Chains A and B, each alone.
Chain A
Amino acid sequence: MDPREYTVCPITEFPEGSRLLVRVGDEEVGIFNVGGQIVAYKNRCAHQGGPVCRGRILGRWVEDLNSAKEVIGGHHSSDMDLVCPWHGWEYDLLTGKNIADPSISLKAVDVVVRDGVIYVRAESATRTPEVVPAHE
Chain B
Amino acid sequence: MTVEHLDARTAEALIVDMRPREDLLANARREAAMRGLHSFPIFDVDCHIIETMRLKEIVPYISNEAIRDRYETVPESAALNLPSAYGDKDVAGRIYRDEHVPGTRGVPRVEDLLNDMGTMGINHACIFPTPMLALGEHPEVEVEVALGQAYNRWLVDHYLTENPRLRAMLYLPFNDPKAALREVVELGDKPGVVGFLVTSVRRTPVYHNAFMPVYAALEERGLPIGFHGGVNWTKSSASNQLNRFLTVHALDFPLYNLIHLFNIIINGLPERFPRLKWLFYEAGLAWLAFAAMRLDHEYMMRPSEAPQLKRKPSEYLREMYFGTQPMEYPSKMEHLEMLFDIVNGPSQFLYASDYPHWDFDLPSKIYDLPFLNEAEKRQVLGKNAYTLFNLPYDEISASLSGTTATEVN
Contacts and interface: CB of A to CB of B under 8 A. Distances in A.
Interface of A: 2-10, 13, 19-24, 28, 30, 43-44, 48-51, 53-56, 58, 61, 83, 85-88, 90, 101, 119, 129-135
A131 B34 contact: yes
A133 to B, nearest CB: 4
Contact of B31 (A20, A48, A87): A48
B6 A24 contact: yes
Given A4-B3, A20-B12, A135 B27 contact: no
The 10 residue pairs across chains A and B that have the minimum distance between CB atoms: A9-B8, A54-B16, A133-B368, A83-B94, A88-B95, A7-B5, A131-B34, A4-B2, A22-B11, A134-B368
Interface in B21-68: 23-24, 26-28, 30-31, 34-35
Nearest to B101: A85
B333 to A, nearest CB: 7
Interface string B303-334: 00000000000000000000000000101010
Contact of B93 (A22, A56, A130): A56
Given A83-B94, A85-B24, A135 B11 contact: no
A61 B193 CA distance: 46
20 contacts: A2-B1, A4-B2, A5-B1, A5-B2, A7-B6, A9-B11, A9-B12, A22-B11, A23-B14, A43-B27, A48-B361, A49-B28, A49-B362, A83-B96, A85-B95, A85-B96, A85-B98, A88-B91, A133-B368, A134-B368
A81 B258 CA distance: 36
Contacts of B8: 7-10, 13
> What does DSSP make chain B's interface, helix, strand, loop or mixed?
loop
A85 B97 contact: yes
Contacts of A48: 31, 361-362, 364-365
A88 B12 CA distance: 25
Given A5-B3, A7-B5, A53-B16, A87 B23 contact: no
Contacts, number: 117
Interface residues of B, number: 44
A56 B365 contact: no
A81 B361 CA distance: 23
A136 to B, nearest CB: 9
B4 interface: yes
A4 B4 contact: yes
A4 B2 CA distance: 5
Given A19-B15, A22-B6, A56-B93, 11 more contacts: A4-B1, A8-B6, A13-B8, A28-B26, A43-B27, A48-B364, A54-B19, A56-B96, A86-B95, A135-B368, A135-B370
A8 B11 contact: yes
B1 A129 contact: no
A87 to B, nearest CB: 6
B95 A83 contact: yes
A24 B3 CA distance: 12
A135 B360 CA distance: 15
A94 to B, nearest CB: 18
